[in-house]
Structure 1
């Protein structure tokens, strides 16, 4: 018996191959179980209350390209101005006052 044990320890296939085979086969079963748990949890999370699901589905259907276009037509884009904020190295109060003074001079010229 002791001689057989020594023979198995010196055999590289028995020493390294069998544990590797067990690791691969066991890992595939473990991975399958963990992924199944993941997909089951996603199914549970996706289930919504029927009343809430009805509200969500009607809200999704209301948004169409035509309604969004009508919203954009109502906006006044002619008077739109691009206002640049202060840079990190600029003093924001000083920059705001500078912008206000420039705006005041522009409005003074227009009127």
Structure 2
């Protein structure tokens, strides 16, 4: 009886142990909840098997040499940097204006 009363008065036992249990137990609980989240995302990202086969074929068919040949054919000397429209500008009008400027310079 004496030791139980002494332990009850001790601040470490009264406040420290429950806090420690809350922190350690909370980390295990959060791990379980986040694992559920990631498992649900994996299920949502799965593709249809026929579509997945097509994607795999496209990934395998891309060769570095073929892409290099495509880039060699592109004429980079005639390339012009055109900025996009600002949020307050009408994109259609701005694109038409940029095209007219390009036509005049060429």
User: What TM-score, normalized to structure 1?
Assistant: 0.57
SS of 2:47's equivalent? coil
Give the alignment's Cα RMSD to 1 decimal.
Answer: 3.7
Find the aligned partners of 1:43 and 1:25 in 2 and give their Cα distance: 28
CA–CA distance in structure 2, aligned partners of residues 83 and 40 of structure 1: 44
**Using the alignment, how far apart are the partners of 1:33 and 1:50 within structure 2?**
30
- Distance (whole Å) between structure 1 residues aligned to residue 81 and residue 45 of structure 2: 43
Q: CA deviation at 1:65?
A: 1.2
User: With CA pairs under 8 Å and 6+ residues apart, which has the higher RCO, 1 or 2?
Assistant: 2
Gaps of 5+ in 2: 87-93
Partner residue, 2:61: 62
Structure 1 residues without counterparts, runs of 5 or longer? none
Rounded to whole Å, the distance in 2 between the matches of 1:80 and 1:68 is 20
Higher gyration radius (CA): 1
SS at match of 1:48: coil
Distance 1:51 1:17 in 2: 57
Map 1:82-93 to 2 at 5 A.
82=80
Would you say how many aligned residue pairs link Structure 1 and Structure 2? 93
In structure 1, what is the equivalent of residue 50 of structure 2? 51
Q: For 1:76-95, what per-residue CA distance to the aligned partner results, in whole angstroms no more than 9, with x for missing partners?
A: x275153566xx8xxx8xx9
**Structure-to-structure mapping, 1:18-97, within 5 angstroms:** 18-75=17-74, 77=75, 80-82=78-80
